[in-house]
Structure 1
Amino acid sequence: MTVTFNHTIIASKDKSASAAFYRELFELPEAPSWGPFANVQLDEGVLLQFAEPPVDIQMQHYAFLVDDELFVRCLAFVEGRGITYWADPQLKREGETNTEHGGRGFYFFDPAGHAIEIITRPYL
């Protein structure tokens, strides 16, 4: 069996709002949810499972690889909602995108405060 990524649980202040944000950002349909999770299904069956833990949420970093066309729409989504974004993880190049690794990328914070990176080319 090969190793593939199946799911991760992402802490959220409002699991439904976070799941809706990611569905809209990536233009995804609703996915079945169960138990304490609001789910978002990515390609290859990968699940993002949003949950509301009874503890303070620590910021995490999540990077998503998208094609060039979706990148443009993701950036428009972020800009359309007035979300600040940066070209760099140090948050110094506000309102810019980068051309690292032969592709394009940008960083922003999701509604739960997690650092999100959208890229069009993998680093390796």
Structure 2
Amino acid sequence: MTVELNHTVVYARDKRASAEFLAEVLGLEVGAPFGPFVPVDTGNGVTLDYYDAGDTDFLPGHYAFLVPDEEFDTMIGRLERMRVTYFADPSHQEPGQINRLFGGRGAYFSDPDGHNMEIITRPYGRP
């Protein structure tokens, strides 16, 4: 049996703004609203459904995106143009740097709601 992640809900203070932020960084499109959600579809069939949390507190999540190596520099350029600081590490201690884990490149950045976003060009090794 094959199991695949189909969609996940991403809590936001402003679902439209947060969806547009991610779509701009990754070079994706924001989809038409679907019920209470504003979707961003990824290339592997997974949808991030942005949802307004209202006054409800939520813990920021971590979302990692495997991106084509040839698009990585373009995405870093978008972050720079948007004046969003990126980091080489998940704890955001190495600003303006990227990592080179597992023979690829990677960077972390925060979205408008404090979610820790990650772009990587190679999947992390598994034992």
Q: CA deviation at 1:94?
A: 1.1
TM-score (norm 1): 0.93
CA contact 2:30–2:38 (8 Å) conserved in 1: no
Q: Residues 28-47 of structure 1 correspond to what in structure 2 (within 5 A)?
A: 28-47=28-47
Q: Residues 28-67 of structure 1 correspond to what in structure 2 (within 5 A)?
A: 28-54=28-54, 55-67=56-68
Q: CA deviation at 1:62?
A: 0.7
Per-residue CA deviation, residues 41-97 of structure 1 (Å, 9 max, x unaligned), is: 111321110001231131111111001122111111111111111101122211100
Of 36-45 and 100-109, deviating more is 36-45
Segments of 4+ moved more than 3 angstroms: none
AA at the equivalent of 1:96: Q
Q: Residues 1-124 of structure 1 correspond to what in structure 2 (within 5 A)?
A: 1-54=1-54, 55-124=56-125
Of 71-80 and 23-32, deviating more is 23-32
SS of match in other structure, 2:18: helix
How big is the alpha-carbon RMSD for the aligned residues of Structure 1 and Structure 2? Answer: 1.2
Distance, in Å, in 2 between the alignment partners of 1:88 and 1:24 is 22
Of 82-91 and 105-114, deviating more is 82-91
Distance, in Å, in 2 between the alignment partners of 1:7 and 1:80 is 29
Q: CA deviation at 1:18?
A: 1.0
Q: Percent identity?
A: 45
Of 8-17 and 51-60, deviating more is 51-60
AA at the equivalent of 2:48: L
Distance, in Å, in 2 between the alignment partners of 1:11 and 1:30 is 16
Q: CA deviation at 1:23?
A: 1.6
Q: Give the unaligned 5+ runs of structure 2.
A: none
